[in-house]
């Protein structure tokens, strides 16, 4: 019992140290000054789309509406073997300068998205690649904010904020809070000078740097990872030149998953990337956090038989709650969604179970993505 308590408290202390590190990293990020931007950079916006007929029209129209010199914007959308009207919708915007490429692969691939992005980059004429997804929305100053930061601070890669919106259920609101936590982690690590995670729905990088690090070579055997694994390759070469754009005008909006099955498939896809992480310190940290959540689950279960373990669980839970509130409040304030932090008391028990579950199966089973079974 004593040994069990020591291990549980050690894991708790380690997790709290991680959160303190993250709180410090987020606080270190400031809204960048971009007054000196000339807005003369040629930009290529990259989108890989598969069966997105429902929402891609809104994404394209948001891009067309950007307050940025039109002659400096190239938009390439790669249709990844869609079975619906996605390609026809993209083609209808040809007069607005939207370029349609169609992926035609005879042999099965495990990462069609990376293939699509790589082919779009090969065709591109821009200096700065700006990647987003086919179901995203953005304000009219999104591109201006990204390029202004690029021109004034000279990063080689820019991770920018992503959040969910238009939630209709409690399940979707809980996802938004949890997703804010994940975006905050990536931002905080960059704020601490150790880039490790990002989101491909809002990621920019120099074209020459993409080729300098070998593009997706070495990470193209996984369906996921066109964002984080690429970032980690760039971080090896340019550790001090990856930035997080803490600017509300740079936020990209997307939607939470409607069903539990869709959510778990997405998270398993994200978890599958961890086997390719170059920074083993990050992997070790993730394992420790997984063990902490496992200890919470074990102590909660043992609490039904012995009140000592229930008290131990409650101490762990309370400390986790306090530190996570401290971490999430400024992030939620940035997204103007501070009301969501009130849902943390509901999210934590669910998140403990889900985190342990996804950690177990994320790297052990194939999963479904965009109508394909991948790994």
Summarize the confidence of residues 30-35 as an average pLDDT: 90
Least confidently predicted of 56-60, 70-74, 367-371: 367-371
Q: Which residue's structure tokens are 């929305």? A: 137
- Tens digit of pLDDT for each residue in 158-203? 999 999 999 999 999 999 999 999 999 999 999 999 999 999 999 9
Give the CA distances from residue 373 to residues 222, 351, 360, in Å, rounded to whole numbers and listed in that order.
12, 26, 19
Asked whether the beta carbons of 375 and 369 are under 8 A apart, the reply is: no
Report the share of the chain in percent with pLDDT over 90: 78
- Tens digit of pLDDT for each residue in 210-240? 999 999 998 877 767 789 999 999 999 999 9
Which among 296, 348, 299 is positioned nearest to 323, based on CA atoms?
348
Phi, psi angle pair for 372, to nearest 5°: -120, 150
> Quick check: 275 pLDDT over 70?
no
What is the pTM (predicted TM-score) of this model?
0.92
Confidence band, pLDDT 50/70/90 cuts, at residue 362: low
Which among 328, 291, 346 is positioned nearest to 9, based on CA atoms?
291
> Quick check: 272 pLDDT over 60?
yes
> Quick check: 157 pLDDT over 90?
yes
- Helix/strand/coil (H, E, C) string of the chain? CHHHHHHHHHHHHHHHHHHHHHHHHHHHCCCCCCCCCCCCCCEEEEEEECCCCCCHHHHHHHHHCCCCCHHHEEEEEEECCCCCCHHHHHHCCHHHCEEEEECCCCCCCCCHHHHHHHHHHHHCCCCEEEECCCCCEECCCHHHHHHHHHHHHCCCEEECCEEECCCCCHHHHHHHHHHHHHHHHHHHHHHCCCCCCCCHHHEEEEHHHHHHCCCCCCCCCCCCCCCHHHHHHHHHHCCCCEEECCCHHHCEEECCCCCHHHHHHHHHHHHHHHHHCCCHHHHHHHHHHHHHHHHHHHHHHHCCCCHHHHHHHHHHHHHHHHHHHHHHHHHHHHCCCHHHHHHHHHHHHHHHHHHHHHHHHCCCCCEEECCEEEC
Q: What is the largest CA-CA distance in the chain?
A: 71
Least confidently predicted of 58-72, 190-204, 255-269: 255-269
Summarize the confidence of residues 322-329 as an average pLDDT: 98
- Tens digit of pLDDT for each residue in 106-156? 666 667 899 999 999 999 999 999 999 999 999 999 999 999 999 999 999
Between CA 375 and CA 372 the distance in angstroms is 10
> Quick check: 274 pLDDT over 80?
no
What would the two tokens of residue 46 be?
């990259």
Residue 367: per-residue pLDDT: 53
> Quick check: 368 pLDDT over 90?
no
Report the share of the chain in percent with pLDDT over 70: 93
Sequence-separated (6 or more) residues with CB below 8 Å from residue 272: 222, 223, 224, 362, 363, 367, 375
Is pLDDT larger for residue 224 or for residue 324? 324
Residue 51: per-residue pLDDT: 95
Between CA 258 and CA 236 the distance in angstroms is 37
């Amino acid at each position: 019992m004593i040994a069990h308590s020591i291990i549980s408290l050690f894991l708790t202390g380690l997790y709290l140290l991680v959160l303190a590190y993250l709180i410090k990293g987020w606080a270190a990020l400031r809204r960048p000054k971009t007054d000196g931007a000339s807005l003369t950079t040629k930009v290529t916006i990259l989108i890989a789309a598969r069966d997105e007929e429902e929402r891609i029209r809104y994404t394209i129209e948001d891009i067309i509406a950007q307050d940025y010199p039109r002659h400096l914007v190239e938009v390439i959308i790669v249709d990844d073997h869609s079975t619906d009207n996605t390609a026809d919708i993209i083609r209808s915007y040809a007069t607005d300068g939207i370029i349609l490429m169609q992926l035609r692969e005879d042999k099965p691939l495990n990462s069609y998205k990376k293939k699509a992005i790589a082919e779009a980059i090969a065709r591109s004429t821009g200096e700065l690649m700006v990647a987003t997804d086919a179901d995203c929305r953005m304000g009219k100053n999104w591109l201006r904010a990204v390029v202004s930061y690029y021109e004034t601070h000279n990063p080689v890669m820019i991770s920018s904020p992503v959040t969910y919106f238009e939630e209709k259920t409690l399940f979707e609101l809980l996802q938004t809070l949890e997703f804010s936590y994940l975006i905050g982690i990536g931002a905080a690590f960059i704020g601490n000078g150790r880039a490790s995670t990002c989101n491909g729905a809002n990621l920019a990088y120099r074209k020459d740097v993409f080729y300098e690090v070998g593009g997706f070579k070495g990470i193209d055997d996984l369906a996921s990872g066109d964002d984080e694994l690429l970032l980690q390759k760039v971080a090896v070469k340019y550790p001090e030149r990856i930035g997080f754009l803490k600017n509300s005008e740079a936020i990209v909006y997307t939607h939470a998953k409607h069903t539990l099955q869709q959510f778990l498939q997405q998270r398993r896809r994200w978890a599958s990337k961890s086997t390719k992480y170059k920074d083993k310190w990050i992997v070790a940290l993730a394992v420790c956090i997984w063990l902490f959540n496992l200890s919470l689950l074990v102590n909660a279960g043992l609490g039904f038989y012995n009140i000592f373990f229930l008290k131990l669980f409650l101490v762990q839970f309370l400390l986790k709650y306090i530190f996570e509130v401290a971490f999430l409040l400024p992030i939620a304030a940035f997204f103007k969604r501070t009301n969501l932090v009130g849902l943390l008391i509901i999210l934590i028990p669910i998140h403990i179970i889900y985190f342990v579950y996804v950690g177990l199966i994320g790297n052990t089973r194939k999963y479904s993505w965009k109508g394909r079974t991948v790994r």
